[in-house]
Amino acid sequence: MVELQSVGFESELSLFKYDTLEQLPESHRDLDEAARSRRIAAAREELGDRVIVLGHNYQRREIVEHADFIGDSYELSKRAAESDAEYVVFAGVTFMAESADIITDDDQTVILPSMEASCPMAGMAEAVQVDSAWEMLVEESGGKDIIPVTYMNSYADLKAFCASHGGLICTSSNAADAFEWAFERGDAVLFLPDKHLGRNTADDLGIDGVVEWDPWAGDVAESMGAAGEVDPEIPDLGDAEVILWDGYCQVHERFRVDHVEEAQADGAKVVAHPECRPSVVAAADEVGSTSHICDVIENADPGETWAIGTEVHLARHLARWHPEVDVRPLCGDACMDCNAMRQVDPNYLTWVLEELAAGREPNVVEVAPEEKELAAVALDRMLEL
């Protein structure tokens, strides 16, 4: 464990946080879909209302069809907190299971089916790394009062770090409100880990003083304009109103303006997630969270064509759920799934449910008490927006 110098609590890299999580045993590696479905149904009948299964929008069909609720990460955590289930099986990634543990009761246990389901973007801003950069950021900004704002897609210790420095959490839906909250309390915002969501939010608010911080070089990176061009004159950190941590979602960064233009030329409207590049967001017809994307398709007129600029499984779900609408992935056959979500193989779901039914608790995700308390502070600040 490493003590964070600027906040005084211990943490470590996410890779080492949950070293007790187990791999899928050999006995469950070759199940076919019919066998899985039977065994999942049997385990769920045995468990009854002691378990709730949460399926993120980006999970494959074989997962979400067994979920009690489908949605985005924070929406699902709220569903868990509202339930009386003893076990919360979160078919998502590590930071999501942590978020559920933060807001559920102490007598609820959160299970992550796969030990390998770790979001790459969350891992681009480890609390240990941000803590080591904090003093440098403050010094190079000329002693500005910097308020850290972390996206929900981050680990619990980074949420706790932000709370300790007067900051808060945001979702893709309320990022602008979080920025305004921060500016009422400080001179500048440090936004992490997703630079694209941060840039798009700053653009929406008309903020020009935006720089990117390269955590690997320890200095201001080349600043990317709204159209994706590199600004040859890199602003000084002292002039910055918004400092973007150089992280991104590998799924959403794949989308290009060409994809948008080709879809629109083919008669489709485009709805893009705000984790996409600013140039893609500027060209899209609609922009919003996964919940907003679902609402757009639900409210579309029959016969409309929509191209979905987010993880490919959500596009496939929406096409199944709304056959009256022509729903397509934005980049067509070139679209790929989220590698982290892919780690939650349906066989993992079968295994953890059968283990719970047998009285064993595999792959428990439990946030350390001090981190949990502080992360809850950051979350409470968001809820007050």
User: Which tens digits make up the pLDDT trace of 184-201?
Assistant: 999 999 999 999 999 999
Q: Which two tokens stand for residue 15?
A: 């890779």
Percent of the chain scored above 90 by pLDDT?
Answer: 84
Please indicate, yes or no, whether residues 83 and 129 belong to a single structural domain of this protein: no
Q: What angle do CA 361, 367, 373 make, to 5 degrees?
A: 140
Residue 222's pLDDT band, with cuts at 50, 70 and 90, is low
The number of domains in the chain is: 3
Average pLDDT over residues 44-73: 97
Residue 381 domain-assigned?
A: no
Please indicate, yes or no, whether residues 59 and 22 belong to a single structural domain of this protein: yes
Residue 108 domain-assigned?
A: yes
Closest CA to 286 of 303, 262, 307: 307
53 to 63, 105, 248, 252, 278: CA distances (angstroms): 9, 16, 28, 26, 35
Residue 7 domain-assigned?
A: yes
What predicted TM-score, i.e. pTM, was given to this entire model?
0.94
For residue 286, give the 3-state DSSP assignment: strand
The answer, yes or no, to whether residue 265 has pLDDT greater than 50, is yes
Averaged pLDDT of the chain: 93
Please indicate, yes or no, whether residues 232 and 140 belong to a single structural domain of this protein: yes
Please indicate, yes or no, whether residues 129 and 95 belong to a single structural domain of this protein: no
Q: How many alpha carbons lie under 13 Å from residue 124 in its C-beta half-sphere?
A: 20
pLDDT computed for residue 294 by the predictor: 97
Q: What angle do CA 159, 180, 222 make, to 5 degrees?
A: 75
Residue 227's pLDDT band, with cuts at 50, 70 and 90, is very low
Please indicate, yes or no, whether residues 127 and 235 belong to a single structural domain of this protein: yes
Q: Are 188 and 240 in contact (CB under 8 A)?
A: yes
Please indicate, yes or no, whether residues 132 and 108 belong to a single structural domain of this protein: no
Rounded to the nearest 5°, which phi and psi values hold at 241? Answer: -95, -35
pLDDT tens digits, residue range 145-199?
Answer: 999 999 999 999 999 999 999 999 999 999 999 999 999 999 999 999 999 999 9
Residue 383 domain-assigned?
A: no
The answer, yes or no, to whether residue 40 has pLDDT greater than 60, is yes
Average pLDDT over residues 17-34: 91
Please indicate, yes or no, whether residues 240 and 126 belong to a single structural domain of this protein: yes
Residue 171 marked as a ligand binder: no
Residue 338 marked as a ligand binder: yes
Residue 99 marked as a ligand binder: no
Q: Residues with Cβ < 8 Å from 282, sequence gap 6 or more?
A: 203, 226, 227
Comparing 4-18, 110-124, 257-271, 311-325, which segment has the lowest mean pLDDT?
Answer: 4-18
pLDDT tens digits, residue range 315-337?
Answer: 999 999 999 999 999 998 778 79
Domain around 104: 2-117+341-368
Residue 73 marked as a ligand binder: yes
Q: What angle do CA 337, 27, 115 make, to 5 degrees?
A: 45
Residue 369 marked as a ligand binder: no
The answer, yes or no, to whether residue 32 has pLDDT greater than 70, is yes
Residue 290 marked as a ligand binder: yes
pLDDT tens digits, residue range 115-133?
Answer: 899 999 999 999 999 999 9
pLDDT computed for residue 224 by the predictor: 47
The answer, yes or no, to whether residue 223 has pLDDT greater than 80, is no
For residue 88, give the 3-state DSSP assignment: strand
Please indicate, yes or no, whether residues 53 and 70 belong to a single structural domain of this protein: yes
Residue 335 marked as a ligand binder: no
Higher-scoring residue by pLDDT: 217, 374: 374
Residue 229's pLDDT band, with cuts at 50, 70 and 90, is very low
The CATH number linked to 360 is 3.40.50.10800
The answer, yes or no, to whether residue 232 has pLDDT greater than 90, is no
Please indicate, yes or no, whether residues 222 and 126 belong to a single structural domain of this protein: yes
The residue assigned the tokens 């999580």 is 21
Residue 235's pLDDT band, with cuts at 50, 70 and 90, is low
Please indicate, yes or no, whether residues 128 and 108 belong to a single structural domain of this protein: no
Last residue of a domain, one of 211, 245, 279: 245
Average pLDDT over residues 207-218: 90
Instruction: Provide the CA 254 distance to its chain's centre, in angstroms.
Output: 16
Last residue of a domain, one of 245, 269, 300: 245
Average pLDDT over residues 281-285: 98
Residue 38 domain-assigned?
A: yes
The answer, yes or no, to whether residue 233 has pLDDT greater than 60, is no
Please indicate, yes or no, whether residues 325 and 358 belong to a single structural domain of this protein: no
Residue 106 domain-assigned?
A: yes
Residue 287 domain-assigned?
A: yes
pLDDT computed for residue 197 by the predictor: 98
Last residue of a domain, one of 213, 245, 277: 245
Residue 153 marked as a ligand binder: yes
Residue 335 domain-assigned?
A: no
pLDDT computed for residue 304 by the predictor: 98
pLDDT computed for residue 218 by the predictor: 80
Q: How many helices (H) and strands (E) in the chain?
A: 15, 16
Please indicate, yes or no, whether residues 168 and 71 belong to a single structural domain of this protein: no
Query: What angle, 0 to 180 degrees and rounded to 10, lies between the N-to-C axes of helices 156-164 and 369-383?
Result: 70
Residue 172 marked as a ligand binder: yes
